[in-house]
């Protein structure tokens, strides 16, 4: 999500390249249990992208302003925006589970784990998993931090979570307010782990090889960048996700690296929020 800055259900038509029936490149058997991941067409991928991007944009630009009229006081809009975006992130998680159920016919953990690349990073040279490969999180985290230091298009103050949390208004609102802190953390967790990363690196990336070949990770980054319609000022910086999130996920066949790097933001805001609640 960067800064704080409807799916049609069964009516949505997806075209896939089933294993063994397409001449296009295809992801091999993936993960524990020998789960086969079918390849989706560019049209199907775009539809799934839209099923996430459009509701999230609508939550930020349509639902939040309307919902703010329900609340009173100077924190009416921040509360409405937090709730709206939290709902959009939860929707992405539901969308992913629905797609896996439709594709694999089950939501058994072994299938979900393999089908969404929720597995330890795997060396492309030796095939070994985990171990020192987890150390990749360190340089990726440094790059993520460096990205935040780059010049950027300023976000509107009313939609900038960092500005809100650092303001007297944000401090006063969160002081002793465990309920809204929990809502805030739920939004962050569904964003960086159970929402965006689960959808883009967990579901879409393993299914994009058939349409985009060796550049599937780059295409994934472009889709992820374009998804940020709810925070358009953040779109230029999101292009660096190709290096920080997409390429490592593809090279090491895991969504967990991206989740770990993306979650640094959650940890940062979580600590700030907790200090305000306890303050």
Residue pair 187/85 in contact by the 8 Å Cβ criterion? yes
Q: What is the mean pLDDT of the chain?
A: 83
Is residue 193 predicted with pLDDT exceeding 60?
yes
Is residue 52 predicted with pLDDT exceeding 90?
yes
Average pLDDT over residues 24-29: 42
User: pLDDT at position 22, please?
Assistant: 38
Average pLDDT over residues 190-200: 88
pLDDT category of residue 147 using cuts at 50, 70 and 90: confident
pLDDT category of residue 272 using cuts at 50, 70 and 90: confident
The better pLDDT of the pair 60, 237 is held by: 60
CA dist., res. 239 & res. 244, Å (int): 9
User: pLDDT at position 160, please?
Assistant: 82
Task: Note the pLDDT tens digit of each residue in 59-118.
Answer: 999 999 999 999 988 989 999 999 999 999 999 999 999 999 999 999 999 999 999 999
Average pLDDT over residues 50-60: 96
The better pLDDT of the pair 44, 73 is held by: 44
**Percentage of the chain with pLDDT > 90?**
43
Structure tokens, 25: 């490149």
The better pLDDT of the pair 226, 131 is held by: 226
pLDDT category of residue 6 using cuts at 50, 70 and 90: very low
The better pLDDT of the pair 30, 208 is held by: 208
234 closest CA partner among 268, 202, 196: 196
User: pLDDT at position 5, please?
Assistant: 41
pLDDT category of residue 33 using cuts at 50, 70 and 90: low
pLDDT category of residue 24 using cuts at 50, 70 and 90: very low
The better pLDDT of the pair 186, 21 is held by: 186
Is residue 38 predicted with pLDDT exceeding 80?
yes
Can you give the pTM of this predicted structure?
0.82
């Amino acid at each position: 999500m960067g800064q704080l800055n409807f799916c049609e259900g069964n009516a949505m038509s997806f075209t896939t390249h089933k294993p063994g029936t397409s001449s296009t490149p295809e992801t091999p058997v993936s993960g524990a249990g020998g789960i086969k991941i079918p390849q989706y067409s560019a049209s199907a991928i775009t539809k799934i992208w839209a099923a996430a991007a459009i509701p999230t944009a609508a939550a930020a630009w349509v639902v939040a302003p309307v919902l703010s009229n329900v609340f009173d006081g100077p924190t009416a809009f921040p509360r409405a925006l937090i709730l709206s975006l939290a709902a959009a992130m939860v929707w992405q998680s539901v969308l992913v589970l629905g797609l896996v159920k439709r594709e694999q016919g089950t939501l058994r953990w072994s299938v979900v784990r393999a089908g969404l690349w929720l597995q330890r990073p795997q060396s492309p040279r030796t095939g070994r998993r985990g171990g020192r490969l987890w150390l990749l999180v360190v340089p990726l985290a440094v790059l993520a931090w460096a990205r935040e230091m780059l010049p950027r298009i300023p976000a509107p103050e009313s939609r900038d979570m960092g500005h809100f949390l650092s303001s007297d208004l944000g401090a006063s609102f969160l002081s002793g307010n465990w309920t809204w802190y929990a809502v805030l953390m739920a939004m962050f967790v569904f964003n960086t782990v159970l929402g965006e990363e689960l959808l883009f690196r967990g579901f879409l990336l393993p299914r994009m090889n058939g349409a985009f070949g060796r550049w599937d990770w780059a295409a994934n980054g472009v889709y992820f960048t374009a998804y940020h319609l709810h925070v358009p000022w953040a779109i230029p910086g999101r292009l660096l996700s190709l290096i920080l999130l997409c390429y490592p996920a593809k090279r090491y066949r895991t969504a967990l690296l991206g989740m770990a790097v993306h979650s640094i933001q959650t940890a940062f805001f979580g600590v700030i929020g907790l200090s305000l609640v306890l303050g």
